[in-house]
Structure 1
Amino acid sequence: MYIPPMLIFKRIRFKDELKEGAPPGTIFACSESGWITSELFVKWLKHFINFVKPSKNNNVLLIMDGHTTHIKNLEAITLARENGIITISLPAHTTHRMQPCDISFFKPLSSYYNQAADKWLHAIIAKILHNFKYQGCLEKCMLKQHRIGRKRR
Structure 2
Amino acid sequence: MGTPTVQNPKKISAPKGVKQLNKAASGEKGTLVTTCYIISASGIAVPPAKVFTWVNFKEHMFKGAPPGTLGLAAQFGWKNSELFAKSSSITALDIAKDNEVIVLTIPPHCSNHMQPLDISVSRSFQMHYNAAIESWMLHHPGSPLTIYEIAECVGIAFQCSMSPTNICSGFH
Aligned length: 99
Residue 131 of structure 1: aligned partner: none
Compared CA separation, residues 57 and 24, structure 1 to 2 (3 A)? closer
CA RMSD, aligned part only?
A: 2.9
Residue 61 of structure 1: aligned partner: 103
Residue 154 of structure 2: aligned partner: none
The gaps in structure 1 that reach 5 residues or longer are 67-92, 128-153
TM-score (norm 1): 0.53
1:4-153 residue pairs with structure 2 within 5 A? Answer: 4-43=47-86, 46=89, 49=92, 54-65=96-107, 93-95=109-111, 98-125=114-141
Q: Does 1:3 align with 2:46?
A: yes
Q: Distance in 2 between matches of 1:19 and 1:47?
A: 24
Compared CA separation, residues 61 and 13, structure 1 to 2 (3 A)? closer
Match of 1:61, SS state, is coil
Compared CA separation, residues 57 and 35, structure 1 to 2 (3 A)? closer
What's the offset of the Cα at 1:20?
0.8
The gaps in structure 2 that reach 5 residues or longer are 1-43, 144-172
Judge conservation of contact 2:96–2:103 (CA < 8 Å) in 1. Answer: no
Judge conservation of contact 1:14–1:30 (CA < 8 Å) in 2. Answer: yes
1:84-141 Cα shifts (integer Å, max 9, x gaps): xxxxxxxxx42565212222211110110100110111111189xxxxxxxxxxxxxx
Q: Distance in 2 between matches of 1:111 and 1:95?
A: 19
Q: Distance in 1 between matches of 2:138 and 2:72?
A: 29
Q: Distance in 1 between matches of 2:131 and 2:100?
A: 39
Q: Distance in 2 between matches of 1:95 and 1:48?
A: 31
Q: Distance in 2 between matches of 1:44 and 1:103?
A: 29
Q: Which moved more, 1:5-14 or 1:56-65?
A: 56-65
Compared CA separation, residues 48 and 125, structure 1 to 2 (3 A)? farther
Q: Percent identity?
A: 31
Match of 2:47, SS state, is coil
